[in-house]
Amino acid sequence: MSALTDILSADLSLRRLWTQVPAAWRGFADWWHSELRDLLPEFLVARLGGTAGPVIRLGVETDGVRVEGVSATGRVAHSGTIAWSDYSVPALDRYLFGIGLQRSDGITGVVLPPTTFFRRSFEIPVGARERVHAIARQELEHRTPFQAESVHLGMVIEPRQRDSQTLTIRQTIVRRDHVEAAVRRLDLPLADINFVAPAMSDKDGLACSISLQPEVDREVPFTKRLLHILLVAAAIIAGLDAALFWWRQERAITTIEAQTAVVREQALAVRSLEKEIARIQSALRALEKQRASLSTADLWRDTSRVLPDHSWATDWRFRDGSVSIAGFSAAATELVGLFEKSPLVTQASLDAPITFDAVNGRERFSLVVRTRADAPVCAILGC
């Protein structure tokens, strides 16, 4: 019942809702930024996040130097310890080389016990966000016993704010002499150390680290990094759009090729049908031509008509348009003229001398005639 009462009594005016927009937008941007960091490769996250490579954390402990390799996404990729008896800068470089790291390729930081750090928080108006570094320095000098020259100062803005009018700032402070003593014990130049941080726990990570080069860090503000991330996201979306366009084009080409194959098969079927029709037409023309040409019966009938009653044939052959006739006749010399008058044959000639056969009392003849190419149809068909 109390929850319902709170909902009914809540201020839902447009002015109240408008004041919540910046906080809602920052919450959405933080969520989007976190999700995109998990999606992108580590080297790209390191590039967009303003880091130059992996993070190397050197912890000064009682028994030795604890070496941790942290990826760009904040995951501890390697952890090991070099005993103080074996430690030296060359030994550290060899150890890093063995795990695939180099101090020149990444960001090096010193890890100190949590007891050496002092933490506090304060609130500022949203409108003072651009002056947060100056305000943090004033807070340090007026509300803590420390002086800015004797400490290293780190701060973060809480991602989730209680209201839209104020920002909660968390400060982490460490004395410079503690840092310098740890760096001297590591035998490293202070200029090579990029940050100092407490030992990581489940709640605290790299967000609690204090940069020893704050001016360099400010060269790449969050807004610029967010802009870079948005540009990369736009490039990824453009790449996906190009891939989708290419896929659609390939799909269209595949469809067209399939349709072309079907049309090709149909064209081949039509061509085969045309060839079959042409063959049938050729056969019909040959049959018509054969029907209109002289047949053996036509020539035999014409030979019987032309030979007079006193003549007869004993041998009759038809081959390649020529007819060879041999037989007996009472007047063999007249046969050539008779065959020349035939409408079916021409070029009649004797191909052997005429001899007299005493047994039959007739002249033996042998002649050859050629069929006419322009023989009239009526003569062939007997009309």
Q: By the 8 A CB rule, do 168 and 157 touch?
A: yes
Instruction: Identify the pLDDT of residue 23.
Output: 61
Instruction: Identify the pLDDT of residue 217.
Output: 46
Q: How many Å apart are CA 301 and CA 318, to the nearest integer?
A: 13
CATH topology of domain 14-220: Nucleotidyltransferase; domain 5 (3.30.420)
**Local structure of residue 186 (DSSP, 8 states):** H
Neighbours of 280 (CB within 10 A): 10
Instruction: Identify the pLDDT of residue 259.
Output: 92
Instruction: Identify the pLDDT of residue 54.
Output: 76
List alpha helices for the chain, DSSP H: 2-9, 14-39, 42-48, 89-98, 132-143, 176-186, 214-217, 222-292, 296-306, 335-340, 377-381
Q: By the 8 A CB rule, do 365 and 312 touch?
A: no
Query: pLDDT tens string for the chain (383 positions)?
Result: 444 454 455 455 666 566 566 666 666 666 666 666 666 665 555 555 545 567 888 988 888 898 988 876 667 778 888 998 889 889 888 888 888 888 877 788 899 988 888 888 888 887 777 888 888 888 878 888 888 788 888 888 877 767 777 888 888 888 889 899 988 998 888 888 888 988 865 444 444 688 887 654 444 455 666 777 888 888 899 889 899 999 999 999 999 999 999 999 999 999 999 999 999 988 888 777 666 566 777 778 888 888 887 888 888 888 877 888 888 888 877 878 888 888 888 888 888 888 888 777 888 888 888 887 766 645 544 54
Instruction: Identify the pLDDT of residue 378.
Output: 52
pTM score above 0.75: no
What is the sign, positive or negative, of the torsion defined by CA atoms of 237, 40, 53, 48? positive
Q: How many Å apart are CA 44 and CA 42, to the nearest integer?
A: 5
φ/ψ of residue 351, rounded to 5: -105, 10
Domain 296-381: CATH class, spelled out: alpha beta
Residue 250: half-sphere exposure toward Cβ, Cα within 13 Å: 6
Q: By the 8 A CB rule, do 248 and 55 touch?
A: no
Instruction: Identify the pLDDT of residue 296.
Output: 77
Indicate the pairing of strand 195-198 with strand 107-112. parallel
Q: What tokens does 93 get?
A: 């470089």
Question: Which residue from 362, 359, 291, 351 is spatially nearest to 329, judged by alpha carbons?
Answer: 362
Instruction: Identify the pLDDT of residue 223.
Output: 60
Residue in this structure with the two tokens 């090096």, named with its chain if needed: 108
Instruction: Identify the pLDDT of residue 214.
Output: 60
Instruction: Identify the pLDDT of residue 122.
Output: 84
List the chain domain ranges: 14-220, 239-292, 296-381
Residue in this structure with the two tokens 């098969």, named with its chain if needed: 265
Which neighbouring-strand residues pair with 312? 328
Q: How many Å apart are CA 59 and CA 45, to the nearest integer?
A: 25
Q: How many Å apart are CA 194 and CA 372, to the nearest integer?
A: 118
Q: By the 8 A CB rule, do 182 and 199 touch?
A: no
Q: What is the DSSP string of 4-17?
A: HHHHHHS---HHHH
